[in-house]
Amino acid sequence: MLPDEADQAQRFEKARSAQAGALLEDYVELIDDLLGSGGEARPTDIARRLGVSHATAIKSIARLKREGLATSKLYRGVFLTPEGHDLAARVRARHRLVVDLLIAVGVPERCAELDAEGIEHHVSEAALAAFARFLEAKRK
Amino acid sequence: MLPDEADQAQRFEKARSAQAGALLEDYVELIDDLLGSGGEARPTDIARRLGVSHATAIKSIARLKREGLATSKLYRGVFLTPEGHDLAARVRARHRLVVDLLIAVGVPERCAELDAEGIEHHVSEAALAAFARFLEAKRK
DNA sequence: AATATATTGTAGCCTGTGCTACATTCTAGG
DNA sequence: CCTAGAATGTAGCACAGGCTACAATATATT
Ligand SMILES: [Mn+2]
Ligand SMILES: [Mn+2]
Ligand SMILES: [Mn+2]
Ligand SMILES: [Mn+2]
């Protein structure tokens, strides 16, 4: 009934580490969206869209910079490094695939959007590939 | 292209709050498994299965007790309150449904087990219902 | 029974991610 | 050009959840 001890520990460890990256992923995706839709990515906008205080957003942006995903100068908005931009692209593709999969199995669209925001960070490459195959098969 | 600001903030807020409950959910599910499979749920076993130090496990167990999900006496192992037991049952059912859904759309079994451990905490009731319908439809 | 080992618990540290309150700097209206 | 208001940044707090090191207790072996 119970899985092997080491296996189970590894599963939990994987979930923890995925979660640790989730915040960075959401930030770069959002920043890339803001930059892409014509404008700048300013800390206040980022904070409002994430639903956190601007102080919190600024601290997280500092972490993005520390990890080489973003740059910013005083009062100049936030930009993504090439690494940040790559990450954003992967994260956005994954986000869309997760939403599409959820909808394809019958989850209401609005609900799919809500759930995907958390789910996406835990979907492995192998699962994504399966999702893509499933959607492709269904399309015909 | 970009969603409404308030909608988006709500999505992120929902994902954050789901995440806040994840640790409790994994603990009660695991404790219930250990109790159910004949034995006790001792802090050391819990720690080993979660892949954390025993000190960390003991602190989290303290939180479970604080939140009315578990009880324990010195050197006596951990037990679930009725609330903890109910939560464990819901969490286990959800975990299984998520794994089954992943497998049903073509995710390799091992991978489904891995990903489900993180995904489960972000799947809403509405999505679960959709998963169940999908699996039912597929079964026939 | 004595002692060695395993388990449990405590103390104290770190990091991440929230918050509020306050200070600074831009920017736009008058 | 000034100044009010918005945006940005800083300081300091709280809490969760990791860790190691150490202390206390229970259990098993001899
Ligand atoms: Mn997300
Ligand atoms: Mn996303
Ligand atoms: Mn889990
Ligand atoms: Mn689980």
3 state SS for A58-112: HHHHHHHHHCCCEEECCCCCEEECHHHHHHHHHHHHHHHHHHHHHHHCCCCHHHH
Among A3, A115, A123, the residue with its CB nearest the CB of B127 is A115
For residue A60, pLDDT beyond 90: yes
Q: What's the pLDDT at B140? A: 79
Q: Which ligand is nearest to the CA of B30?
A: 4
- Amino acid symbol at A120: E
Same domain, A74 and A95: no
Placement of tokens 């939403």 in the chain: A99
Q: Which of A81, A98, A129 is the last residue of a domain?
A: A81
For residue A102, pLDDT beyond 90: yes
Q: What's the pLDDT at B41? A: 96
The arithmetic mean of pLDDT across residues A45-53, rounded, is 97
Higher-confidence residue: B76 or A102? A102
Rg (CA), chain A: 17
Same domain, A16 and A74: yes
The arithmetic mean of pLDDT across residues A94-103, rounded, is 98
For residue B31, pLDDT beyond 90: yes
The arithmetic mean of pLDDT across residues A73-84, rounded, is 94
For residue A93, pLDDT beyond 90: yes
Number of domain units in chain A: 2
Same domain, B72 and B9: yes
A56-77: b or e for each residue (b if 16 or more CB lie within 10 Å)? ebbebbeebeeeebbebeeeeb
Contact between the CB of B75 and strand D at under 7 Å: yes
Domain holding A70: CATH number?
1.10.10.10
Weakest-pLDDT range from A84-93, B69-78, B119-128: B69-78
Same domain, A53 and A13: yes
DSSP state letter for B74: T
The arithmetic mean of pLDDT across residues B106-133, rounded, is 98
For residue B110, pLDDT beyond 90: yes
For residue A20, pLDDT beyond 90: yes
Pairing of strands B70-72, A78-80: unpaired
Q: Distance of alpha carbon B23 from its chain centroid, rounded?
A: 7
Break chain A down into helix, strand, coil percent, rounded to 5.
75, 5, 20
For residue A30, pLDDT beyond 90: yes
Residue B20 to residues A31, A90, A93, B23, Cα–Cα distance (Å): 24, 25, 26, 7
Same domain, B76 and B9: yes
Same domain, A9 and A77: yes
Q: What's the pLDDT at A38? A: 80
For residue B83, pLDDT beyond 90: yes
Instruction: Please give the backbone phi and psi of residue A79, each rounded to the nearest 5 degrees, phi first.
Output: -130, 160
What is the domain extent for residue A124?
86-139
Mutate to test the interface with A, among B5, B8, B32, B60 (most CBs of A within 10 A): B8
Residue A39 binned pLDDT confidence (cut-offs 50, 70, 90): confident
pLDDT, tens digit, for every residue of B49-65? 999 999 999 999 999 99
For residue B42, pLDDT beyond 90: yes
Q: What's the pLDDT at B38? A: 81
- Nucleotide with smallest C1' distance to residue B74 CA: C8
- Rounded CA separation A38/A128 (Å): 30
Q: What's the pLDDT at A88? A: 98
Six-digit token string for A52: 């956190």
Same domain, B43 and B104: no
Q: What's the pLDDT at B27? A: 98
- Rounded CA separation A103/A111 (Å): 9
pLDDT, tens digit, for every residue of A109-121? 999 999 999 999 9
For residue B39, pLDDT beyond 90: no
CA atoms lying within 13 Å on the CB side of residue A55: 0
Look at residues A13, A124, A126 and name the one whose alpha carbon lies nearest to residue B26: A13
Average pLDDT over chain B, rounded to an integer: 96
The arithmetic mean of pLDDT across residues A57-74, rounded, is 96
- Rounded CA separation B118/B136 (Å): 24
On the 0-12 / 13-18 / 19+ scale of CB atoms within 10 A, A20 is exposed
- Rounded CA separation B26/A25 (Å): 23
For residue A28, pLDDT beyond 90: yes
The arithmetic mean of pLDDT across residues B102-113, rounded, is 98
* Helices and strands per DSSP (H, E), number in chain A: 6, 2
Look at residues A38, A26, A40, A24 and name the one whose alpha carbon lies nearest to residue A78: A40
For nucleotide D8, give the residue with the nearest CA to its C1'.
Answer: A75
Same domain, A13 and A60: yes
Same domain, A106 and A68: no
Among A11, A19, A115, the residue with its CB nearest the CB of B124 is A115
- Determine what percent of chain B is predicted with pLDDT higher than 70: 100
